Structure 1
Amino acid sequence: MTRRRPVLDLDPAQVVRARELAHAASAPVVDLARTRTTVSVERAVLRAAGLEGADAEGIPWVNHLVDAVRRQVGLEQGVAVPVWDALARAEAGDLTVLAQKAAVDGVRFALPSGSAREHALVGARAAAAGGVAGIDAARAEREAMVARIGDPPQRPWIYLIVATGDIYEDIPQAQAAARAGADVIAVIRSTGQSLLDYVPEGATREGYAGTYATAENFRLMRAALDEVSVEVGRYVRLTNYASGLCMPEIATLAGLRRLDMMLNDSMYGILFRDINPVRTFVDQRFSRQVHARAGIIINTGEDNYLTTADAVDAAHTVTVSQLLNETFAHEAGLPDRLLGLGHAFEIDPAVPESFRLELAHALLARTLFPDAPLKWMPPTRHMTGDVFQGYLLDGFFNLVGSLTDQDILLVGMMTEAVVTPWLSDRDLALQNVRYVQRAAGGLAEDFVPAPDGLIATRARHVLGEAVDLLERIVGSEGGLLTAIEHGTFGGMKRPADGGRGLDGVVERGDDYVNPVSEILEGDQR
Structure 2
Amino acid sequence: MGKLNLDPQVVAKARRLAERAAEPVIEMARTHTTVSVERAQLRLAGLSGADADGRPWVNHLVDAVRDQVGLEHGVALPVWDALRRESYADLSALAQAAALGAVTFRLPSGDDAAAATTHARAAAREGITRIDRRRAERDQLLTEVGDPPKPWVYLIVATGDIYEDIPQAQAAAREGADVVAVIRSTGQSLLDFVPEGATREGYAGTYATQENFRLMRAALDDVSKELGRYVRLTNYASGLCMPEIATLAGLERLDMMLNDCMYGIIFRDINPRRTFIDQRFSRQVHARAGIVINTGEDNYLTTADAVDAAHTVVVSQLLNERFGREAGLADSQLGLGHAFEINPALPDSFRLELAHAQLVRELFPDAPLKYMPPTKHMTGNVFAGYLLDAFFNLAGVMTGQSIILIGMMTEGIHTPWLSDRDLALENVRYVRDACGALAEDFVPRPDGFVVQRAKQVLSESVDLLERICDDTLLQAIADGTFGVTRRPADGGKGLDGVVERADGYVGPALDILETEDPHAGHRPQTPAGSVQR
TM-score, normalised via structure 2 length: 0.97
Q: Return 5+ residue gaps in structure 2 as ranges.
A: 520-533
* 1:228 counterpart letter in structure 2: V
- Asked if 1:233 corresponds to 2:228, the answer is yes
* 1:134 counterpart letter in structure 2: R
Correspondent of 1:493 among 472, 486, 493: 486
**Equivalent in the alignment of 1:179:** 174
- Asked if 1:78 corresponds to 2:74, the answer is yes
Aligned partner of residue 89 in structure 1, secondary structure = helix
Correspondent of 2:100 among 101, 104, 113: 104
Aligned partner of residue 417 in structure 1, secondary structure = coil
- Asked if 1:10 corresponds to 2:6, the answer is yes
- Asked if 1:326 corresponds to 2:321, the answer is yes
Aligned partner of residue 247 in structure 2, secondary structure = helix
Residues 422-451 of structure 1, C-alpha deviation per residue, up to 9 Å, x if partnerless? Answer: 111111111111111111121001111011
What does 1:275-424 correspond to in 2, within 5 Å? 275-424=270-419
What does 1:189-204 correspond to in 2, within 5 Å? 189-204=184-199
Correspondent of 1:447 among 435, 442, 466: 442
Residue 283 of structure 1 deviates from its aligned partner by 0.2
Q: Return 5+ residue gaps in structure 1 as ranges.
A: none
- Asked if 1:95 corresponds to 2:88, the answer is no
Contact 1:485 1:495 in 2 (8 A): yes
Instruction: Measure, in 2, the Cα distance between the counterparts of 1:6 and 1:235.
Output: 31
What does 1:223-262 correspond to in 2, within 5 Å? 223-262=218-257
- Asked if 1:520 corresponds to 2:513, the answer is yes
Residue 133 of structure 1 deviates from its aligned partner by 0.2
Contact 1:237 1:259 in 2 (8 A): yes
What does 1:47-62 correspond to in 2, within 5 Å? 47-62=43-58
Percent pairwise identity? 73
Instruction: Measure, in 1, the Cα distance between the counterparts of 2:467 and 2:231.
Output: 43
Residue 91 of structure 1 deviates from its aligned partner by 4.8
Aligned partner of residue 75 in structure 1, secondary structure = coil
Instruction: Measure, in 1, the Cα distance between the counterparts of 2:267 and 2:415.
Output: 22
Correspondent of 2:473 among 480, 483, 508: 480
* 2:46 counterpart letter in structure 1: G
Aligned partner of residue 405 in structure 1, secondary structure = coil
CA RMSD of aligned residues (A): 0.8
**Equivalent in the alignment of 2:530:** none
Residues 92-146 of structure 1, C-alpha deviation per residue, up to 9 Å, x if partnerless? Answer: 2210010000001110101000000000011100000000000000000000000
Instruction: Measure, in 1, the Cα distance between the counterparts of 2:213 and 2:371.
Output: 24
* 1:513 counterpart letter in structure 2: V
* 2:112 counterpart letter in structure 1: A
Structure 1 residues 410 and 6, CA gap change in structure 2 (3 angstroms): farther
Instruction: Measure, in 2, the Cα distance between the counterparts of 1:144 and 1:282.
Output: 33
Aligned partner of residue 238 in structure 1, secondary structure = strand
**Equivalent in the alignment of 2:430:** 435
Aligned partner of residue 46 in structure 1, secondary structure = helix
Residue 260 of structure 1 deviates from its aligned partner by 0.2
Correspondent of 1:39 among 30, 35, 39: 35
Instruction: Measure, in 2, the Cα distance between the counterparts of 1:368 and 1:304.
Output: 20
Contact 1:167 1:203 in 2 (8 A): yes
Residue 204 of structure 1 deviates from its aligned partner by 0.1
Instruction: Measure, in 1, the Cα distance between the counterparts of 2:20 and 2:87.
Output: 47
Instruction: Measure, in 2, the Cα distance between the counterparts of 1:385 and 1:370.
Output: 37
Aligned partner of residue 126 in structure 2, secondary structure = helix
Aligned partner of residue 510 in structure 1, secondary structure = coil
**Equivalent in the alignment of 2:523:** none
Aligned partner of residue 233 in structure 2, secondary structure = strand
Residues 376-433 of structure 1, C-alpha deviation per residue, up to 9 Å, x if partnerless? Answer: 0000000011100000000000000010000000000000000111111111111111
Contact 1:6 1:445 in 2 (8 A): no
* 1:351 counterpart letter in structure 2: L
Residue 473 of structure 1 deviates from its aligned partner by 0.8
Instruction: Measure, in 2, the Cα distance between the counterparts of 1:358 and 1:6.
Output: 17
Instruction: Measure, in 1, the Cα distance between the counterparts of 2:214 and 2:166.
Output: 11
Aligned partner of residue 85 in structure 1, secondary structure = helix
Residues 327-379 of structure 1, C-alpha deviation per residue, up to 9 Å, x if partnerless? Answer: 00000000100000000000000000000000000000000000000000000
Instruction: Measure, in 1, the Cα distance between the counterparts of 2:397 and 2:4.
Output: 16
Instruction: Measure, in 2, the Cα distance between the counterparts of 1:220 and 1:97.
Output: 27
TM-score, normalised via structure 1 length: 0.98
* 2:42 counterpart letter in structure 1: L
* 1:496 counterpart letter in structure 2: A
Instruction: Measure, in 1, the Cα distance between the counterparts of 2:41 and 2:55.
Output: 17
Instruction: Measure, in 1, the Cα distance between the counterparts of 2:407 and 2:375.
Output: 8
**Equivalent in the alignment of 1:139:** 135
Instruction: Measure, in 1, the Cα distance between the counterparts of 2:143 and 2:508.
Output: 32
Contact 1:91 1:107 in 2 (8 A): no
**Equivalent in the alignment of 2:115:** 119
Instruction: Measure, in 2, the Cα distance between the counterparts of 1:441 and 1:55.
Output: 54
* 1:40 counterpart letter in structure 2: S
Residue 6 of structure 1 deviates from its aligned partner by 6.4
Residue 8 of structure 1 deviates from its aligned partner by 1.7
Aligned partner of residue 129 in structure 1, secondary structure = helix
Residues 236-295 of structure 1, C-alpha deviation per residue, up to 9 Å, x if partnerless? Answer: 000000000000000000000000000000100000000000000000000000000000
Contact 1:160 1:177 in 2 (8 A): yes
* 1:66 counterpart letter in structure 2: V
* 1:9 counterpart letter in structure 2: N
Residues 166-220 of structure 1, C-alpha deviation per residue, up to 9 Å, x if partnerless? Answer: 0000000000000000000000000000000000000000000000000000000
Correspondent of 1:503 among 492, 496, 519: 496
Residues 32-59 of structure 1, C-alpha deviation per residue, up to 9 Å, x if partnerless? Answer: 0001000000000000001000001100
* 1:80 counterpart letter in structure 2: A
Aligned residue-pair number = 518
Instruction: Measure, in 2, the Cα distance between the counterparts of 1:517 and 1:103.
Output: 26
Instruction: Measure, in 2, the Cα distance between the counterparts of 1:92 and 1:270.
Output: 40
Residue 7 of structure 1 deviates from its aligned partner by 3.3
Contact 1:6 1:448 in 2 (8 A): no
Q: Where in structure 1 do 4 or more consecutive aligned residues deviate above 6 Å?
A: none
**Equivalent in the alignment of 1:206:** 201
**Equivalent in the alignment of 1:65:** 61
Instruction: Measure, in 2, the Cα distance between the counterparts of 1:248 and 1:328.
Output: 15
Instruction: Measure, in 2, the Cα distance between the counterparts of 1:492 and 1:50.
Output: 39
